[in-house]
């Protein structure tokens, strides 16, 4: 299976990089898992380390669309959700968990208290996101990889410098293409070893 053609030509993406939405304010433009016709699989925790290329591509696109909706709906500053959140594992894991929690909380078969619980947990998540954004050093207009401290006996990795964020959507598309290719390469090596 090839990379989604929408990723190869960002102009085919909808507003804010959403692969399917036509209206950026449409709350139903993402998260197709809730009440999606023919999808009766229950939501499950998402382990990014175990996703295939195809699964990762779908998850990246869904999460990206939802993060755009979230930051606009709640007026979140880049100190909570920066443009290059996708390049920081700590932010991906937090936002992914928050997205799944939101999907479950607003499921039509869920409890009426679900949205209240989500908002309570969202308040806690915003504090964690602020901490991680502050620690990793990503900002509205610049980004650098999260710094990692080498423990005694480990090889030190050179610190990367900041880069200017020129086109967030183009970077996201390239990031996903690279991630999907790397996962497919690993899948091929595993199949070849069997």
Q: What is the pLDDT of residues 92-146, one digit of tens each?
A: 999 999 999 999 999 988 899 999 999 999 999 999 999 999 998 899 999 998 8
- Identify the residue with better confidence: 191 or 68: 68
Q: What residue spans define the domains of the chain?
A: 63-145+163-194
Whether 31 and 25 have beta carbons less than 8 Å apart is answered as no
Query: Higher-confidence residue: 154 or 121?
Result: 121
Q: How confident is the model at residue 159 (pLDDT cuts 50, 70, 90)?
A: confident
How high is the pLDDT of residue 110?
Answer: 86
Q: What is the 3-state secondary structure (H, E, C) of the chain?
A: CCCCHHHHCHHHCCHHHCCCCCCCCCCCCCCCCCCCCCCCCCCCCCCHHHCCHHHHHHHHHHHHHHHHHHHHHCCCCCCCCCCCHHHCHHHHHHHHHHHHHHHHHCCCCCCCCHHHHHHHHHHHHHHHHHHHHHHHCCCCCEECCCCCCCCCCCCCCCCCCCEECCCHHHHHHHHHHHHHHHHHHHHHHHHHHC
**Where residue 11 falls among pLDDT bands split at 50, 70, 90?**
very low
pLDDT, one tens digit per residue, over 45-62 is: 899 999 999 999 999 999
pTM of the model: 0.80
Mean pLDDT of the chain: 84
Q: What is the distance between the alpha carbons of residues 127 and 134, in angstroms, rounded to a whole number?
A: 11
27 pLDDT above the threshold of 60:
no
Question: In this model, does residue 160 exceed pLDDT 80?
Answer: no
Which is higher by pLDDT, 194 or 78? 78
For residue 23, the model assigns a pLDDT of 46
143 DSSP β-pair partners? 163
| Of 23 and 62, the one with more pLDDT | 62
Share of the chain above pLDDT 70, in %: 78
């Amino acid at each position: 299976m090839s990379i989604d053609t929408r990723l190869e030509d960002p102009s085919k993406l909808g507003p804010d990089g959403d692969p399917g939405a036509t209206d950026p304010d449409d709350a139903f433009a993402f998260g197709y898992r809730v009440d999606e016709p023919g999808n009766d699989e229950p939501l499950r925790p998402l382990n990014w380390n175990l996703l295939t290329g195809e699964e990762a591509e779908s998850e990246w696109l869904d999460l990206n669309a939802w993060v755009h909706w979230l930051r606009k709906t709640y007026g979140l500053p880049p100190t909570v959700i920066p443009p290059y959140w996708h390049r920081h594992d700590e932010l991906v894991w937090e936002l992914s968990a928050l997205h799944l929690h939101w999907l479950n909380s607003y499921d039509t078969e869920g409890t009426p208290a679900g949205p209240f619980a989500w908002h309570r947990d969202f308040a806690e998540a915003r504090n964690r996101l602020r901490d991680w954004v502050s620690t990793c050093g990503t900002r509205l207009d610049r980004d650098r990889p999260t710094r990692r401290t080498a423990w005694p006996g480990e090889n030190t990795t050179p610190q990367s410098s900041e880069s200017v964020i020129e086109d967030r959507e183009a970077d996201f598309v390239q990031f996903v293409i690279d991630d999907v290719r790397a996962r497919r390469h690993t899948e091929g090596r595993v199949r070849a070893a069997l």
